[in-house]
Amino acid sequence: MSASLPHSPDHPDRTRLRLLGALATGAGLGLAGCATSQKPVQPPYVPPQRTPHDLGLRGSYGQREDVMQQVPGMARQLGLPEEYVRVAVGNADFIPSVQRLILPAGRGVRRNWRVYRSRFVEPIRIRAGVAFWQQNADTLRQAESRYGVPAKYVVGILGVETIFGRNMGNIRVIDALSTLSFDFPPSHPRAAERHAFFRNELEQYLRLTWKNHDDPLELRGSYAGAMGMPQFMPSSWAKYAVDFDHRGHIDLFHSPADAIGSVAHYFQQYGWVSGMPPEFEVTFEPQGLHLDTLLAPDIVPSFTPAAMAALGATPRDVPADFHGQLALIELENGSDAPSYYAGTQNFYVITRYNNSSYYAQSVIDLGNAVEKAMRG
């Protein structure tokens, strides 16, 4: 995930990174790069004897007085050395494309589930999913046994997010999160809330890289700062990522086991119910259908099967011992009729990964397609 640097010892970026490595480890040089499951666990931080004079603050945010004035307060709040935060933030760059990409799609655009689905449930991801499942079958079984999450849904997440690590993003995380922390677009309809979210993610990222002895200027991810095979945000990494391969270091970039265990643990922590399917097919009774009432809770399970049926939507093949609640899931198909499902608590859990019913259904469908291909 980290970009290669010229081998010249005099290259300014290499000098900058060595200074940062010295600051992070107190060991002179010894730069800690992108997380790998092979590297040994490093000793606790020991403050350096002296602070390097040339910190190399070459990023656009290093030239912003309003930003750099925030560094001391951030460092105190995070319990990190001020120079560590200063080097990280001061070498971050503003990225205009990140501002544009974070804005929601314009109103009036008709969503099309079939088009959306075709981006993810397609031959490349299915073949990659079969290979990934075969290579990591024991780990997937262990994760299912420990967390109760079937392998196909973990496979679905990793396939939708990054094609099992092929596309993890190539934007420096420090640049993405700094842009969204210090220059969040005010035109966003939830600007205040989202700005606060990304400011917290930047702080979580600095704390995470310090703890893991990773260089905060090296890790790369999505335009929103998501990282690794499962595209965890820094706060999710801190809360839900697990060392599933027991190597003493959580590595979501290179360890399939850590990625598998972390996704399953994430679902469990959000309330995954073992043995419950994420959805049921649904049939409608047109004369007694109260569609507005059924759609009002959106993706939040709010109706028993009997209550849903009384409102004109009957879930199909619901087990007699099912005691959960359901949500009517509507997926628009452009100008054609929408598709509908009765989503369970587990469907809602998948949307905690990405707050979209289209996303959750893609994860489910890709997981089912890979499972079918495995059997075939």
Name the strand (E) or helix (H) holding 338.
strand 336-343
Q: Is 161 a catalytic residue?
A: yes
Chain CA centroid to CA 376, Å? 31
Contact 198, 180 (CB under 8 A): yes
Which residue reads 């709040």 in tokens? 77
CB 168 within 8 A of CB 229: yes
Give the separation between CA 169 and CA 183, rounded to whole angstroms. Answer: 21
Q: Which residues make Cβ contacts (< 8 Å) with residue 370, sequence separation at least 6?
A: 125, 126, 129, 130, 133, 152, 155, 156, 159
Exposed/middle/buried for residue 234 (C-beta within 10 Å: 0-12, 13-18, 19+)? buried
Instruction: Tell me which of 144, 161, 203, 279 is the catalytic residue.
Output: 161
Q: What angle do CA 283, 288, 289 make, to 5 degrees?
A: 55
- For residue 129, the tally of other CB atoms under 10 A from its CB is 25
Alpha-carbon distance values, 55 to 10, 58, 79, 149, 262 (Å): 15, 9, 20, 47, 36
Q: Are 189 and 102 in contact (CB under 8 A)?
A: no
Residues with a catalytic annotation lie at 161
